[in-house]
Structure 1
């Protein structure tokens, strides 16, 4: 079964951490991209991709700045589309032409000067309006393709605890975690109006624990292997339908 991801490492990590073989392969991964930007067909120009450090980072920013994700939906080389909303933590840049870009750390490393653009801060009413615009476009596109039933939302939240009683880096305060999760709840509530509860992958609080040791460091969205195993199980069930 071919899986396409729009989201973050919380979904991608499962493919690298699987402890038993699943008949699942990763077809494509659209990372560091807010949904509004991913679904925007207008190219966002003026970004010097050559200044971005790695090939992977250049690729994800290029995908975000172009219509790569809508084109991938049309091409349909996937059996399951998993969307996780963790990257909605990023601000969105809107230029004078109305085109959108996700203000990820990779985007910022290009040196792009956004001083003349509008920066829409995450978790604000304006950010929600942009997200809803992207969400509506995604639902309409998948419905037209007869593929809405192949969409699943990975209902992840920022973890508030670290496995084994460890601590988060100081930047991840309890207040910041609570604010991020409140915003995610609002997005999930809106999405459920179109895809219902069956369109979500759900997890317990114990599964949504931050890993005490993780290749990318301790973070509220770097989970344990128990979470990864459960996600693989849920994706595998889609292929067994």
Structure 2
């Protein structure tokens, strides 16, 4: 089964735990919020000078992801019928939005490496963010409907972990991140999106699996889980 992943490392890392040829990733789009995908925003362009500034980003992958955010290439990627399942998650929507040359972009950690300064920002927990996100989702689904069909979508319904594998890192998690606030926001986003997807599109595991792993390859974070989460997801995807 061929997968395109649109989301964060949470969904992409699942496939690192797959030891068979049953699951194959044919494309990965990351660090670009659904809130940037409204028709009006997609029609706007970023100038060459700002694309050139991305040369400050040393990682080829991170640079490509910011370029993809600038040109909203996810809409072209999902229209290419070379996959069986589009696995999405909403972890990227933790980032603020920036206004750059009148166009909304995702102020991801990768974008920050470019040293580009947006003219203004839209905070991720603001009503304005939600308004833009709703418009982006509607256009995203419209493009899907016109091309491959939304039945190909699988929503990886994940939450921020409020505990780690030990007490020390549990304290650190809750000190560094506002887990409850971010999970409350996720519930708002899920409520909107789930009403627009078939029930079979939702993948929801036990919240007992959302445990932060201090030894995760990407470091400690509320969305870097222990291996049990990823191995569970592999089995779900294999048997779906």
Q: TM-score if structure 2 supplies the norm length?
A: 0.90
Give the match for residue 158 of structure 2. Answer: 156
CA distance in 2, matches of 1:159, 1:52: 30
1:66-77 alignment to 2 at 5 Å? 66-77=71-82
1:107-186 alignment to 2 at 5 Å? 107-114=111-118, 117-168=119-170, 170=172, 172-173=174-175, 176-186=178-188
CA distance in 2, matches of 1:211, 1:144: 40
* Deviation, structure 1 residue 166: 4.3
Give the match for residue 87 of structure 1. Answer: 92
1:190-205 alignment to 2 at 5 Å? 190-205=192-207
Aligned: 1:24 with 2:28: no
* Deviation, structure 1 residue 54: 0.8
CA distance in 1, matches of 2:136, 2:182: 19
3-state DSSP class of the match of 1:160?
A: coil
* Deviation, structure 1 residue 164: 4.0
Distance 1:168 1:106, change over 3 A: farther
Give the match for residue 11 of structure 2. Answer: 11
Aligned: 1:55 with 2:60: yes
CA distance in 2, matches of 1:2, 1:13: 15
3-state DSSP class of the match of 1:167?
A: helix
Higher deviation after alignment, 183-192 or 229-238: 229-238
Distance 1:215 1:169, change over 3 A: farther
Alignment RMSD, CA only?
2.0
Q: How many residues align?
A: 234
Q: TM-score if structure 1 supplies the norm length?
A: 0.90
CA distance in 1, matches of 2:54, 2:173: 28
Higher deviation after alignment, 206-215 or 173-182: 173-182
Q: Please list the CA deviations of residues 119-151 of structure 1 after superposition, one character each: whole Å capped at 9, or x if unmatched.
A: 110021111111111110111111122420000
Distance 1:13 1:147, change over 3 A: same
3-state DSSP class of the match of 1:195?
A: coil
Q: Please list the CA deviations of residues 199-219 of structure 1 after superposition, one character each: whole Å capped at 9, or x if unmatched.
A: 211011221111232111111
Question: CA contact under 8 A between 1:6 and 1:84: conserved in structure 2?
Answer: yes
3-state DSSP class of the match of 1:173?
A: helix
3-state DSSP class of the match of 1:219?
A: coil
3-state DSSP class of the match of 1:129?
A: helix
Distance 1:89 1:103, change over 3 A: same
- 4+ residue segments displaced more than 4 Å: 168-172
